[in-house]
Structure 1
Amino acid sequence: MHCLDLFFRASGLKVNLHKSKAQYSKRVSERRKEVLSGVSNIRFYNDLGKYLGINIGHARTSRKTAQEVIEKISRKLSSWKGCLLNKFLWKGQATGKGLPLVRWEVAITPKRAGGLGIRDTSCANMALLGKLVWDCLNNSEKLWVQVLKHKYFKNQSGMNENSRNFSSATWKNIVSAYEHLKEGLH
């Protein structure tokens, strides 16, 4: 409650405890649950439900979990899709099937070099992951870097040694980017 009070004083925003929900971690004892419920006046649930149409549960989000959101977005974009980019690259078929009118290499080539200037998403993703790799290696004062190092660097010195099966998808992607980019990191 002290932390919530500090938040209120710092931001000017007040937390509505009647609308608030909280969830316990698996390892919290029954006694501690009772104490936290009594002190905070916040209701605790096993499932937090949805916020802005997205499940905000404690479990790791998978493709299956996100499928509902993907379908919702697809429905909203279906009318747009058939008219714009699809028509240009795929002969106007809303399903995205058909013979491509332009090779992907031409589509991602910059306009000044005779291409269409469409951003190559795999390169953009690698660049963004490269920024995370750089932070992991050089910005240990950042909280998220400290958390990842505490979780994955225990008794180990390098990123490439940490691609364990139980690692998060985010960490696996950071390690994969490190493997691709390590020769060019200076």
Structure 2
Amino acid sequence: MESLHISFQNVVLEGLFKGVLVNSSLNLSHLFYADDVIFMGQWSESNINTIIQALDCFHKASGLRMNLHKSKIMGIVVDVEIVVRAANKMGCSSLKTPFSYLCIKVGGSMSRKDSWNDIVDNLRSRLSKWKMKTLSIGGRLTLIKSVLGSTPIYYMSMFKVPSQILKCLEDIRRKFFHGVDTKENKMSWVKWGRVLASKEKGGLGILSFFALNRALLLKWVWRFRNNKDTLWSRFISAMYGNIGRIEKPSKVGDNSAWLSIVYEFHKLQNLDIDLLSFMEKRVGNGVDTAFWEDQWLRVDAGC
């Protein structure tokens, strides 16, 4: 992979491959992750020929050959017939949106409920493997904390979950905790909100999906503020601007999802204690979070 990176970097610098010009200082041409590579550029015959030649040079230099049967090519606002002809020329298949990459959906609208059906069904399928009525309430509580609470974390760390989906996921956990089948509707003797409360407030300390989703998303905003020189931070700045100049988005969709998250984080700075400044003081100076000392901190969020 290192040989391919060096070879393709030289090809880009020599101007043989034209990437995507985001702004005057940022030009995206290729990304590498583990043993995966993504080429991004203008749709042209010369770019396609350049990729074919770069892969051939990589094969001759390293003795390794790319598996084109697992490779795909996709065109943005390009006729399907043109994409198919390019795929046949390269010996790979064509790709359409939405698709999955690293188990994450790309190109779909995650603000729609239908996009979360797989996650909801996956959570329900786990319940079918356990005889919940034969488990004690302590056993069900352990499974909720260790398994059911961690199943949707991967998606929650990337997308803002619709409120109806959060309610559905919490309803699944609530019925499992009370030993009720997901298709049944029975009265609960304890409010689920009381169960989600901390043990100090009389609850069982189960983490709320709403709080979990917001916390995981705010992690990216914090990294955006503290890693401004990274490629993804520069890309976000070029596409959506900086946090300091944020305004409330007019609509929520794929193109404004990040903007909506940043806006919500921006509102947190109205707290009596500036959360962002606190995090920057503790970690911005190179302090490893693993060596933090436990301490009490009173935050009045007005709730």
> For the superposition of Structure 1 and Structure 2, which TM-score range results when normalised by the shorter chain?
0.5 to 0.7
C-alpha distance in 2 between matches for 1:72 and 1:14 = 39
**2:118 equivalent to 1:69:** yes
Change (3 A) 1:97 1:32: closer
**2:249 equivalent to 1:160:** no
One-letter code aligned to 2:185? K
User: CA offset at residue 123 of structure 1?
Assistant: 1.8
Percent of residue pairs bearing the same amino acid type: 25
Aligned equivalent of 1:170: 257
Q: Which runs of 5+ in 1 are unaligned?
A: none
One of 175, 185, 200 as aligned partner of 1:97: 185
Answer whether contact 2:196 2:207 (CA < 8 A) is retained: yes
The aligned length equals: 178
Answer whether contact 2:197 2:206 (CA < 8 A) is retained: yes
C-alpha distance in 1 between matches for 2:113 and 2:208 = 26
Change (3 A) 1:50 1:169: same
Aligned equivalent of 1:139: 227
C-alpha distance in 1 between matches for 2:104 and 2:269 = 36
**2:74 equivalent to 1:23:** yes
One-letter code aligned to 1:45? S
Q: Which runs of 5+ in 2 are unaligned?
A: 9-30, 36-61, 133-139, 141-172, 278-303
- CA offsets, 1:88-130, max 9 Å, x none? 33x5242263222222332122335532121122222222222
C-alpha distance in 1 between matches for 2:86 and 2:206 = 55
C-alpha distance in 2 between matches for 1:4 and 1:96 = 59
TM-score normalised to structure 1 length: 0.65
- Larger relative CO (CA 8 A, sep 6+): 1 or 2? 2
Change (3 A) 1:82 1:4: farther
Aligned equivalent of 1:150: 238
**2:166 equivalent to 1:88:** no
TM-score normalised to structure 2 length: 0.44
RMSD after superposition: 4.4
- CA offsets, 1:62-100, max 9 Å, x none? 5365255246425523525872452533x5242263222
